Structure 1
């Protein structure tokens, strides 16, 4: 009996070594192409460059570039980043692709990409870039499957498990101390999603779909009610500002600053609108010959910006008191 089991295991091992993981190959190839493409750009200080290579800004995503929730996972800029992520994608991805059908594996990859991006966007102002969210999802999937499925038992050794869990915590610590900006929400969202998918594979197919879709809907809705992120609020403020709804935009900018006092985008645009509103008020006072009130506001404007030539010229045009 032992010899039969050993022979069977040897056959499985041989099949695994010879197995060609087409989907995993494609994911690696796409990542390499995007890596080369973005590194051929002269400058990487503009969101339009990142959008060109698969990682649109949160504003672009809210305006319809939803594909970025998937494609941003395959973009890397640093060589160490892509090397680390492709290594683990290969280690975990080949195993899952070997043990499951292609359709399931593709859905796992795509859903992991979506969930990690949505989770990151729910806690920050971008989706982040890189395959680490997917990597953590595949890790979480094998971790749970290894407890009930013989095909995955002992595939993850204790060293690998410790590495991923310690790295998960270390990344959070480094980000909290502002030593390194890392997509921690994508990591956490990814590992939980992978573990959930592995857990619900024991249920009937319709239950798997119900649970999976329900979780994705909740995560997606978190973009709009989540108190941790200002991404959706920033998009709202930008649209109101662009459509010249100054008062409404100012209220949203103030809400952003209440959540994130160091938000440069909100502070700069709020200041711009406040200056604009003051300029309108000064113009009305000046036009209606309320010169004292106009003078006060022109001086306020010059406190905001001492180089404001419009305020200087109009102040000089006022009658001497």
Structure 2
């Protein structure tokens, strides 16, 4: 690498980002558990031999399912539905885009599925649970619940993994959590949530953490557990009227915890690199170097921050340090900073 070649490369964009990257985490940890539910449907009865009456309509549940199917078909038409470029066209945003203010992109991933099995299992779970919960609380309340659960779970996933993930499972876990805690008030919930099914779903959620830890599957566990917690809190508020004040305070703290990472995430190398890029573009090079350095301290393999720090140092005339940073960045990621044909 020549002495003057690196300096012609612009800072790596950590805003909206158009790179391929790996497919986002699929919010799918509840899928297999709900596959068991979808196969048995209403035969999980609270009393032996009891069979449920015909379920009333669930228009919101149906509409959500149809939107998910429509988005999936759109991804198929565009070819590679798992590519970042395609997902961006259908409402997903990279973390920098969300931090820049595209907060609506916390909701849209709940309608995006890029794999057929992922879509099938999620919609099976949504249909089994939604057609019980929606008539019980009303369609408008169910819609509000879903549209609250989706961004909250996506925000926790963003805070934990620097991505929102895709799929409806965060919201589905919230539905499960509500029905789990509220099944003694809404007895019909027991028709689909037997004690055995509840234990199976919870065990599966824990097992998916193991799968993610050993890098067997990239699963949005933070979205699932935060969705579950949201559903449990809302369900508890609905049934424990004498405890609504402390439960309401807990829910407010939970929402605040979901909002904070949208503006402040100093534990995240991605966020630190994003802040560095903002300072870099504004030609505040010393400040940018500080942000990049903090990102590298947390993640020494962060080639993007390493490369960008080299660019900032080059602007300040720190040639030797700049070349050292950029050489190390290329050792981590050989293609970084190179123009692609």
Moved more, 114-123 or 148-157: 148-157
Cα pair distance change 1:303/1:138, threshold 3 Å: closer
Cα pair distance change 1:264/1:95, threshold 3 Å: farther
Whether 1:191 and 2:228 are equivalent positions in the alignment is yes
Partners of 1:56 and 1:49 lie apart in 2 by 11
Question: What TM-score do the two structures reach when normalised by structure 1?
Answer: 0.77
Picking from 233, 253, 277, the partner of 1:238 is: 277
Cα pair distance change 1:205/1:67, threshold 3 Å: farther
- Correspondences of 1:93-104 after superposition (within 5 Å): 93-104=130-141
Partners of 2:195 and 2:301 lie apart in 1 by 41
Picking from 297, 301, 310, the partner of 1:258 is: 297
Whether 1:59 and 2:107 are equivalent positions in the alignment is no
Question: What TM-score do the two structures reach when normalised by structure 2?
Answer: 0.72
Indicate the residue corresponding to 2:188 in structure 1: 151
Indicate the residue corresponding to 2:170 in structure 1: 133
Deviations 1:184-232 (A, max 9, x none): 1001101111111100113389857665444312321144455543443
Whether 1:81 and 2:118 are equivalent positions in the alignment is yes
Indicate the residue corresponding to 2:310 in structure 1: 271
Which has more radius of gyration?
Answer: 1
Higher relative contact order (CA 8 A, sep 6+): 2
- Correspondences of 1:1-321 after superposition (within 5 Å): 13-16=52-55, 19-43=56-80, 47-202=84-239, 203=241, 212-226=251-265, 228-277=267-316, 280-281=317-318, 297=320, 301=323
Cα pair distance change 1:281/1:33, threshold 3 Å: same
Larger proportion of helix: 1
Does the CA contact (< 8 Å) of 1:171 and 1:184 recur in 2? yes
Q: CA deviation at 1:242?
A: 2.2
Cα pair distance change 1:302/1:240, threshold 3 Å: closer
Deviations 1:130-161 (A, max 9, x none): 01111111111111112444232353023422
Partners of 1:88 and 1:34 lie apart in 2 by 18
Partners of 2:325 and 2:305 lie apart in 1 by 20
* SS state at 1:55 partner: coil
Q: CA deviation at 1:301?
A: 3.9
Cα pair distance change 1:185/1:302, threshold 3 Å: closer
Structure 1 segments unaligned to the other structure (5+ residues): 1-5, 283-296, 306-321
The CA RMSD over aligned residues, in Å, is 2.9
Does the CA contact (< 8 Å) of 2:310 and 2:324 recur in 1? no
Partners of 1:21 and 1:270 lie apart in 2 by 54
Cα pair distance change 1:167/1:270, threshold 3 Å: farther
Q: CA deviation at 1:26?
A: 0.8
Does the CA contact (< 8 Å) of 1:250 and 1:270 recur in 2? yes
Does the CA contact (< 8 Å) of 2:268 and 2:295 recur in 1? no
Q: CA deviation at 1:38?
A: 1.9
